[in-house]
Amino acid sequence: MMRVGMARCRPGYEGLAPPWNPVERYPEIDRLFGSDPVDMTTNDRESADSRESSNEVYRAVRDALRGLGLDADRFGTPEWNPIGDLVPSGRHIVLKPNLIRHWNPAEENGKGSIASVITHGSILRAVADYAWIAAGPDGRVTLAEAPQMDCDFARIREIIGLDEIVAHYDHALGRRLEVIDLRREEVVYEDGIVADRKTLPGDPLGYRAVDLGEHSFFQGSGLDPNRFRGADYDPGPTTEHHQKGRNAYLLSETVLSADLVINLPKLKTHKKTGVTLALKNLVGINGDKNWLPHHSLGSVEEGGDEYPDRRLIDRMRSRATEIARPMLAKGRMLGAFRFVRRVENAARGDAFVRAGNWHGNRTTWRMCCDLNRCLYYSDRDGLHLDSAGPVRTVLTIIDGVLAGEGEGPLAPMDVPLGVVLAGTDPIAVDLVAVRLMGFDEQKLSKLRAPMEDAGPRITAVRSHADVQVGEVDVEGAQLEARGLDSVGWERSFVPHAGWVGHVEREA
């Protein structure tokens, strides 16, 4: 039975500010920081008992770790060290948030915010505190992420209060929270066309090519690697690393050599895989997203999954894109292509399936599952696919305080959910999240296939009956354990347009 810790809180981050200090006093945090654990102001102390001034997000992270059952015997004492159950003191812990992009287009209509796109800073701060407790004075904690190619990472740091968090640890602990942008390149888009490229330092430890070979989820899929398309204009690297028995990914050495990875996804919908959550968040451990197959060229009838049928307009768009790719890769005729894109947007809007953004995408979910297999079966010494089970522990903590529905992952509408989830099995955590969204896990290949998979398995879950939810009761006194079927919300999330009618759970 795989346990998932679930905690509820006010559904938003209002009233909180960097570095996202806990207003309440917790014995284990007092022990971490000493006599003045969170550098609270006088006003903070005076209002610490007020619900309006409390940091419920911090409490929810704490309660989710408690619900997971970590270090249960010492809970409530200064020695409580939940993450220490997963990694010895003195080791290296990597935090992997979802910092995909620095804006949400849904802000324009007032229905969305950046807070439903990325992992919030208050979640990062709370998790980092417990990571420092586990790492001890001789350990290290690093935040590492490879956001989307057009993400302004400096702006992301500002939005989540990352520099304030780093400064807080420098001052209060005398320890440095290292921050790494794992990308090797940043781009600037104009009208959806790459207008400029900038080389980035990337991972200071470099990258490792991890080849799953015949153990890839693409094995036996019937998909043609020559149809694979990735994140950039040149399909060559995407095809090259996924053919002739090879299925390779270029992954961060900082992540692969870590002693514990803490995966910190956002709870939201996704255009290519239905939902984001734990499995999809590992896309951000890559050094080159063009090694990642995102969809397969052409219609289903042609052997692809770019769009559903052979409508003339979709075939023409696909062929025009293929003609444009080599010119765009060389930076030619950018103005003309930007004009065409503006005309298309004006004529068709966004309500049509393109680039595999629909429930028939057979490519992206396999890539996501591969990335999980790469991480769970790799350590600093290499890949161990012959192991009886995963050689690595990954703790997942999902930020569902303000979740996202509709046009996720980049333009979701805000959903005030008020939930934090924690677990060491990625499928178990994602199953709880999917039930909260009102979706059916059997309609999501990304979840169904790993449960049915022969191995090397990335989950111990084979059905919903294998998942147990641990939640602290309303008074915060007792843990209540129940089955997955008890989990739900008052309404279902709105799926991405390409998934409507194909992911919802039946009443």
Angle in degrees, 0-180, between the axes of helices 121-135 and 56-67, rounded to the nearest 10: 50
Alpha-carbon distance 423 to 330, whole Å? 45
Mean pLDDT, residues 240-245 taken together: 95
Greater pLDDT, 347 or 466: 466
Tokens of 134: 């586990």
Q: Say if residue 50's pLDDT is above 90.
A: no
- Whole-angstrom distance between the N-terminal and C-terminal Cα of the chain? 26
Q: Say if residue 52's pLDDT is above 50.
A: no
Tokens of 374: 């790469």
Predicted pLDDT at 220? 95
| Closest-CA residue to 256 (of 142, 151, 336) | 142
- Tens of pLDDT, residue by residue over 262-271, are 999 999 999 9
Burial zone of 484 (CB within 10 Å; 0-12 exposed, 13-18 middle, 19+ buried): buried
Predicted pLDDT at 488? 85
As a whole number, the mean pLDDT across the chain is 92
| Closest-CA residue to 150 (of 196, 191, 186) | 186
Predicted pLDDT at 193? 78
**DSSP secondary-structure letter at 494?**
P
Mean pLDDT, residues 32-59 taken together: 61
Predicted pLDDT at 36? 56
Q: Say if residue 343's pLDDT is above 80.
A: no
- Tens of pLDDT, residue by residue over 207-219, are 999 999 999 999 9
> Picking from 48-62, 104-118, 297-311, 424-438, which range would have the lowest pLDDT averaged per residue?
48-62
Q: Say if residue 344's pLDDT is above 90.
A: no
Which residues of 73-165 form beta strands (DSSP E)? 92-97, 140-145
In three-state secondary structure terms, 379 is strand
Alpha-carbon distance 127 to 479, whole Å? 21
Predicted pLDDT at 280? 98
Number of neighbours of residue 330 by Cβ within 10 angstroms = 10
> Picking from 239-248, 357-366, 435-444, 472-481, which range would have the lowest pLDDT averaged per residue?
472-481
Calculate what percentage of the chain has a pLDDT beyond 90. Answer: 81
Predicted pLDDT at 369? 98
Confidence of residue 334 (pLDDT cuts 50, 70, 90): low
Predicted pLDDT at 354? 84
> Which H or E run includes 5?
strand 2-8
Alpha-carbon distance 146 to 101, whole Å? 10
Mean pLDDT, residues 436-455 taken together: 97
pTM of the model: 0.94
Alpha-carbon distance 489 to 507, whole Å? 12
Tokens of 426: 């990625």
Type of residue at 94: V
Q: Say if residue 46's pLDDT is above 50.
A: no
Q: Say if residue 38's pLDDT is above 70.
A: no
Predicted pLDDT at 154? 97
* Domain parsing of the chain, residue ranges: 2-20+55-221+245-298+363-499
Q: Say if residue 42's pLDDT is above 50.
A: no
**DSSP secondary-structure letter at 439?**
B
Confidence of residue 331 (pLDDT cuts 50, 70, 90): confident
Confidence of residue 455 (pLDDT cuts 50, 70, 90): confident
Predicted pLDDT at 43? 38
- The residues facing 420 across adjacent strands are 7, 399
Type of residue at 342: R
Q: Is the dihedral of CA 433, 437, 441, 443 positive or negative?
A: negative
Mean pLDDT, residues 45-53 taken together: 43
Mean pLDDT, residues 92-110 taken together: 97
Predicted pLDDT at 310? 74
Q: Say if residue 44's pLDDT is above 50.
A: no
Greater pLDDT, 319 or 130: 130
Query: CA 435, 255, 150, 288: dihedral to nearest 10 degrees?
Result: -110
Confidence of residue 478 (pLDDT cuts 50, 70, 90): confident
Q: Say if residue 377's pLDDT is above 70.
A: yes
Predicted pLDDT at 69? 96
No. of H helices and E strands in the chain? Answer: 14, 19
Mean pLDDT, residues 311-337 taken together: 75
- Tens of pLDDT, residue by residue over 63-89, are 999 999 999 999 999 999 999 999 999
Mean pLDDT, residues 35-49 taken together: 44
Confidence of residue 3 (pLDDT cuts 50, 70, 90): very high
Tokens of 202: 């990337």
